[in-house]
Structure 1
Amino acid sequence: MPLTGKHILLGVSAGIAAYKSCDLVRRLMDAGARVRVVMTPRAAEFVAPLTFQALSGHPVRLSAFDAGAEAGMDHIELARWADCVLVAPATADLMARLAQGMADDLLTTLCLATEAPVCLAPAMNRAMWAHAATRANAQCLVGRGVHLLGPASGGQACGEEGAGRMLEPGELVAALRERFTDGPLAGRRVLITAGPTREPVDPVRFVGNRSSGRMGYAVAAAAAAAGARVCLVSGPVALPSPPGVERVAVETALEMHAAVMERVAQAEVFISTAAVADYRVAEPALEKIKKRADILELRLVRNPDILAEVAARPDAPFTVGFAAETGDLERHARAKLEAKGLDMIAANDVSAGRGFDAEENALEVLWPGGGTSLGRQPKTALARALVALVARRMEAAGRNPGPA
């Protein structure tokens, strides 16, 4: 079992979701982990430290200046003891302090002092999670190697609905299990694009497409579960970021192109699931276009071909494209594979609305000299099968996807 005998240092910061952390301790121990709990002083106002002591069987640490605790295991020893530091809940305040490198309480000190992986389970009001400062802090932390587990969307203690809920204890335990399992892409850097792009016509209108981003987000989650460090460059979608995935939000094809080119040199795998607009309006109007003429003509110009540009690089990563077709699926996909010099292409039939904004999909996966079919199934399962296939094809091509 992946968690058997693992040392999990559970940090609890001051959020109402701290009550869920009691169940989390029990579930971690049921999974075979050894758990120690560190709380921020204000977290003790939500749940009594004695509760965590009773559940874990060990005293709870609240202060770096606990003389009794220092006599047996000081804060550096505790940081070294951990195989993983999990902070659940991780409040906006805790994330801000970590992003600034502060060590003004025992928990933040441990997060700085440990050499073990640090995972945060964000928990806060939806507006706090959406705030630009929190988003910047989250991106900063992910860039430093911190793993974000969640948040989830749904009802909140304040009565509002939206993203910001802490993942349920069972989901957090499952995420930790995956962290301690060597996946087929363990240690590899994977860059993924997802969702649509929006090309402005005027300040209120745009040219877009029907992509929901579901498949790309499922692929990002599957790659992270396979052990990869994943960066997801996403067009505008109504989906929460997959756990442990760095998300870069863009709107237009030119913004997506810039974001990909900025990051592709560090990537070992590039998977392009995004439905990037082939064309953009040449000269978007600066003010809203009024309805006057019976015919409105727009002049369109081609956008950069992100996928072809990545595949043509002299140091190109293992490059996987997607092809959404409405007929003659394999012929069109094979032509795209060859024309763009891809390592692999995944094609799906979107005729009659299939594929877009649906929970299920099917793929024809092709590569030079071969191919296979991935039958209709939920996109989450389909993504896992595709990621496993990418790992096998990398190995067959002599590009070992195992740990570096």
Structure 2
Amino acid sequence: MKYLPRPRQAIRCSHRSALRPAEATNAAANPARRALGTLFLLAACGVLLPHHARAALTDVCIPVGSPTTQIKFPSRIAVTRKTPIGSVLATQTVTTTIECTNKYYPTGSFAVIFKSPYNEARTNTSRGFETSVSGIALDWTITNYNGQKYAFGSSPLNSPLTSLGVPFPHRPIIPITNTYTLTHTFELIRTGTVTGGTFTFPKITMMSKPESFFGDKYDKDLLSFTFASAEIVSASCDVIKNNIGVVLGRVPQSDFNGPGTAAQVRPFTIDLTCTPGTAVSLTLDDTYKNPGYPGTINLSDATATGIGIQMLDTWANKPFPIGESRAVGVTSNGSMSIGLGARYIQTAPRVTGGKANGVLTFTLEYR
């Protein structure tokens, strides 16, 4: 008798329908052949899964928005001789949002998120990953949706051992999409002697997979981070006092006779110790800048009105510009004092008395 091949629907995950009668008889006498037939049929059934079903099996979690985030530290970071080992030099915090849907993994109650094993190999120190600059490490901490923190910088960059999980309930009929926000904190940390150089770091990719029996077969790229370059400078100067208080004193309202008139100058200095021959530049922050009067900032903690604080270059006897880098000298014997002054200045037609405080951040550059 000749057996004609059955139509496509005869190929099922079942011995009874797939084996021909002659094969079924011989299978009992030949267990090895029956075992081979079983493996073949299971493989065939896997191959015949509809394309859309096979694609869906990889959909564990997906990013909301762009999957790639760029991390930008300050373009120039100075490390002084006084900066302690273990100090955080710069911090950048970003958030990412993901959506996770479990329709196809009945044994997976969690979606696992981990570092891709295909990341560039970077060993980790006690405080994060080694970077392109000697003595500088990159640390990475993730705060999960529930506030729990995970130290992703505690294992090599291409190690999937450090991971976190988010709930991934199986809902095959009416799938539920769960949305989670992850907070990533990246820190540059001093770990040793810093010689300076350009900070660069390779792209970091994160993956997700279901926490199920065959979860490793369905891991998938989820998020990635790229890093902008930054210049790490081994500063050749130290500031003697980082926080300087300038007492402007009590000033009679009668000292002001109209906009632009000013009270007595109160001199002060910014004192440094430097390597001889270091060129120093000073920038006064422009957060509170008053554009109507040169070298002037508005009050930041005050009940008085109609006045500001004017900064002066006492060496040149003129207002010191706000928000501009100015060269202030070259050290010769290892120490340097930058002479400045501050005074109240009338900035409005009418002045009222009261508390008149201000704050100003300064930045020093060394070359």
TM-score, normalization by structure 1: 0.23
Higher helix share: 1
Tell me which structure has the larger Cα radius of gyration. 2
Q: TM-score, normalised by structure 2?
A: 0.25
Structure with more strand by fraction: 2
Structure number with the bigger relative contact order (C-alpha 8 A, sep ≥ 6) is: 2
